[in-house]
Amino acid sequence: MSSNLINRRVTLSSRPKGIPQAEHFSVDEIPVPDLVDGEILIENDYWSVDPAMRGWVNDLPNYLPPVEVGATMRSLAVGKVVASRHPDYRADEIVMGMFGWQRFTVCKGEDVDRKVTETDLPPSLALGIMGLNGVTAYFGLLDICDPQPGETVVVSTAAGAVGSAVGQLAKIRGCKTVGITSSEEKMALCREKFGYDQVINYREENVADAIKTVCPDGVNCYFDNTSGPISDAVMSNLAIGARITICGTASIADWDPLPQGPRVHRQLLVARARMQGLIVFDYKDRYDEAYVALAGWIRDGKLAYNEQVLDGAEAAPDAIAMLYRGENSGKLLIKVD
Amino acid sequence: MSSNLINRRVTLSSRPKGIPQAEHFSVDEIPVPDLVDGEILIENDYWSVDPAMRGWVNDLPNYLPPVEVGATMRSLAVGKVVASRHPDYRADEIVMGMFGWQRFTVCKGEDVDRKVTETDLPPSLALGIMGLNGVTAYFGLLDICDPQPGETVVVSTAAGAVGSAVGQLAKIRGCKTVGITSSEEKMALCREKFGYDQVINYREENVADAIKTVCPDGVNCYFDNTSGPISDAVMSNLAIGARITICGTASIADWDPLPQGPRVHRQLLVARARMQGLIVFDYKDRYDEAYVALAGWIRDGKLAYNEQVLDGAEAAPDAIAMLYRGENSGKLLIKVD
C-alpha cells in the first residue's frame, strides 16, 4: 500500500555553526518505499522541536552523530501505525520515537521509543510532558538533584516545557520553588499556572541579587537549561551541599571555541556542591516509572503543561531558532500537514 | 605548671589578598596561661603547612571564618600532652588537631581531632598521609570518584602530599593512573615512588594533547588540585560518566573577582559527568575507616609518602607561599623549635 504515498519532509540543507536557522533547512517530497519484513509505516501527527536539536546538527562531539547534510532532520514525533510487517505492531497503534521531520516514517520496530498507551490523554503530550520533557524533568530533578522537603529549588527557563515541569515536581516534593524567566507574561504563567513561589525576570533584574533576596539560605538545587550568565548568578548563591543539574545550554550560541565564563571550581568546593550533566536517554530503562508518575499527576491536576503548535512543514525550518530566541510559550510542536 | 612557660608562635600580622606571603606573618612570644578544668596543654612537635591555609586567611566566604589579624595562625599540628585537666587525656599521649602555629597549645578536649594511636608509625605522619592528606585522598577518590578497576584516573599535583596518595589508592583499586606534575625530578618521583603508569609535565607539554594520547578512551576520574589551565585540559578529555573531585585550587592566585575560564557546562553535559567539591571535614564521622585502611597499606608497603621538614618558627611565614610556588617536595611540615 505504501508505494503510492508521497513523503513530505524537512532536510538539513547545510551545516550550521551554533543555532540552526531557517536557511539551513529545505522542504522536499520523496516517495515512500515499500515495507519489508520487520518494518512499520507510521503517519506522523506531530513533530517535536527541542533545544537538543541544535547539538544534533552541529559537527561537534555529542551523544549522537550529527545529522548528515541532505538527510531528513532528526526529531522525535508521534504518529499512528498505518501498516505493519512487524509482529509487535498493529495498525492504529499510537507510537512515539525518533521518526524525523517527515510525514511518513518507515522504520524497524526498534526505532519506536514507545507505544503511547495513555489513551485518555492527548497524543501530543507524548512529545512533551508525557515524553522527554517530562521524563527529563523527572530524572533531572528527582534523581540528580534529589530535592528534600523544605529545600529551595531554582529553575532557569522556568516557563519552558522542561522547566515548568521541574518547578511543579519540586512543589510536589515539598520544596520552595524559584523560577527564572524572560517576560512579564511568562512570570504570570510561572506564578499562576506552574505555582512557583518566587519568579525572577532575568531581563529586568540583577539575577544574583534577586536570588540572594529570595533564597536567604542559599540555593539547594538548581536545574539549569542556560549554562550562561543566569547560571553564573545562581552559582554565586549556593547552599552547602547544593546539587546542580545541567540539562541544557540555551544561552550559549556557540561552543567552538569554548566560551569563557567565571570559574565554578571554588564555588563548588566551598559549598561541597555537585554539578552534573544530564542526558535523559541514559534513563531509558526507567522511563516507565516516570510515565506512570507523570500521568498520575496530570490526571490529579497537579502537573500543568503548555503547548504551542506551529502549522505544517513550512514552519519547521525556523522553529529551532525560535526556541533559542525565546519566542515560544511552552512545548513547541509542529502539526504535520 | 604551665605559668612559667613561654609560647613562641606565628601570628597573622596583616590581611593578604590571594596567597599569603612572608610579610603577612610575625613571630612573637607570649606567656602560656594556667590550665582550667577541662583543658589540656599540648607541646607541639610539628606544624602543618597546607594549601587550604590560604583560604583561612583571606576574607572571603569559606568553610571556616577567616583567621583574625593579630591571632595565632590556624594550622593543624601534632604534639604531646604535657598536662591535662581533662578526664579523657593523659600526659604523654600524642594528639593531632587545629593547634595553630605555636609551641604550646592550651585547648579543650573537643579541639583535639584525634589521639594518634599508630605508635609504630612516625608521629609526623599524623599531619600527612595518616592525617588530612591521606584522608582527603581516601574520601575524595574512593567516595566521590569511586573509580572502578580498569578505569583511567588522572591526578593533578601528582607528586604532592594528597595527589601522590590519590595515585597510589587508584593503583590499589586496579586503575590506570596518569599524574600531572611540574618537573623532571617530580616526574621521576611519580613513576618510581608513586607508581603512576603515565606522567605528564605541564610545564613542558601541551596537557590536553598529552592526555588525549595517554588516555585514548578518555578520563574516567579526575582528582583536581589546581582549578586552572591543567583542569581545563583534562576536562576536554572526559569519558562518558566521568567523575571529577575538586579538592584544591592551587593554580588560581585570587578568586575575587572570579577569574574567567572555559565554561565546563557542555563538557559535563555531553559526558554526563559529575564535578563535585570536597571539604574533607565533612567526612569526620568516617575518618577512622580511612585511618585503619591507610595504616594497613603503609605497613604493607603499598602506600609511599614524602615529607619535607622546615626548621622552626622562622621558616613558617614563607611556607604557604612556598607551597604555591611548587617548591616543596611532598608534605610540607615545620619542626617546632
SS3 category, B256: coil
Q: In whole angstroms, give the CA distance from residue B273 to residue A264.
A: 15
Q: pLDDT by residue (tens digit) across B37-74?
A: 999 999 999 999 998 899 999 988 777 899 999 999 99
State whether B266 and A276 contact (CB < 8 Å). Answer: no
**Burial class of residue B165 in the structure, from the number of CB atoms within 10 Å of its CB (0-12 exposed, 13-18 middle, 19+ buried):** buried
| CATH fold of A2-128+306-335 | Quinone Oxidoreductase; Chain A, domain 1 (3.90.180)
User: Minimal Cα–Cα distance from B278 to chain A, Å?
Assistant: 5
- Name chain B contacts of A259, Cβ cutoff 8 Å: 262-263
Q: With the C-alpha atoms ordered B72, B77, B82, B88, is the resulting torsion angle positive or negative?
A: positive
What are the tens digits of pLDDT across the range B81-123? 999 999 999 999 999 999 999 999 999 988 899 999 998 999 9
Q: Which of B259, B269, B275 sits opposite A268 (nearest CB)?
A: B275
**CB–CB of A303/A163 below 8 Å?**
no
CB A322 within 8 A of CB A27: no
- Position B2 confidence tier, pLDDT thresholds 50, 70, 90: very low
pLDDT digits (tens, 9 = 90+) for B244-285: 999 998 888 888 899 999 999 999 999 999 999 999 999 999
Is A39:A110 a contact under the CB 8 Å cutoff? no
Cβ–Cβ < 8 Å for A168, A191: no
The reported pTM is 0.88
- The minimal CB distance from A62 to the residues B248, B259, B270 is found for B270
Question: pLDDT per position in chain A (337 positions), as tens?
Answer: 445 899 999 999 999 998 999 999 999 999 999 999 999 999 999 999 998 899 999 988 777 899 999 999 999 999 999 999 999 999 999 999 999 999 999 999 888 999 999 989 999 999 999 999 999 999 999 999 999 999 999 999 999 999 999 999 999 999 999 999 999 999 999 999 999 999 999 999 999 999 999 999 999 999 999 999 999 999 999 999 999 999 998 888 888 899 999 999 999 999 999 999 999 999 999 999 999 999 999 999 999 999 999 999 999 999 999 998 878 888 999 999 9
A65 CB within 8 Å of a chain B CB: no
Q: A31-46 burial by CB neighbour count: b if 16+ within 10 A, else e?
A: ebeebeeebbbbbbbb
Confidence of residue B3 (pLDDT cuts 50, 70, 90): low
Backbone angles phi, psi at A204, to 5 degrees: -110, -20
Domain at A132-281: CATH architecture:
3-Layer(aba) Sandwich (3.40)
CB nearest to A270's CB, from B63, B269, B274: B63
Of B294, B172, B166, whose CA–CA distance to B180 is shortest? B166
The minimal CB distance from B264 to the residues A264, A272, A278 is found for: A264
Contact flag B269-A278 (C-beta cutoff 8 Å) = yes
Contact residues on chain A for B271, CB-CB shorter than 8 A: 277
Q: Is A61 on the interface with B (CB under 8 A)?
A: yes
Touching check for A64 and chain B: CB below 8 Å?
no
Place domain B2-127+306-335 in its CATH homologous superfamily.
Medium-chain alcohol dehydrogenases, catalytic domain (3.90.180.10)
Q: How far apart are CA A329 and CA A184, in angstroms?
A: 12
Whether A263 sits inside 8 A of B227 (CB atoms) is yes
For residue A120, the distance in angstroms to the closest alpha carbon of chain B comes to 35
- Predicted local confidence at residue A3, as pLDDT: 59
**Degrees, nearest 5: CA angle B58-B64-B65:** 60
Q: Is the CB of B36 inside 8 Å of chain A's CB atoms?
A: no
pLDDT exceeds 70 at position B337 = yes
Option in B227, B264, B278 nearest A272 (CB): B278
> Do the two domains A2-128+306-335 and A132-281 of this chain adopt the same fold?
no
Q: Is B121 exposed, middle or buried (0-12, 13-18, 19+ CB in 10 A)?
A: middle
Q: How does residue B329 score in pLDDT terms, banded at 50, 70 and 90? A: confident
**What's residue A220's pLDDT?**
98
Q: Which of B265, B276, B280, B283 to mutate to test the interface with A (most CBs of A within 10 A)?
A: B265
Strands A152-155 and A219-224: parallel
Q: What is the pLDDT of residue A180?
A: 98
Domain positions in chain B: 2-127+306-335, 132-281
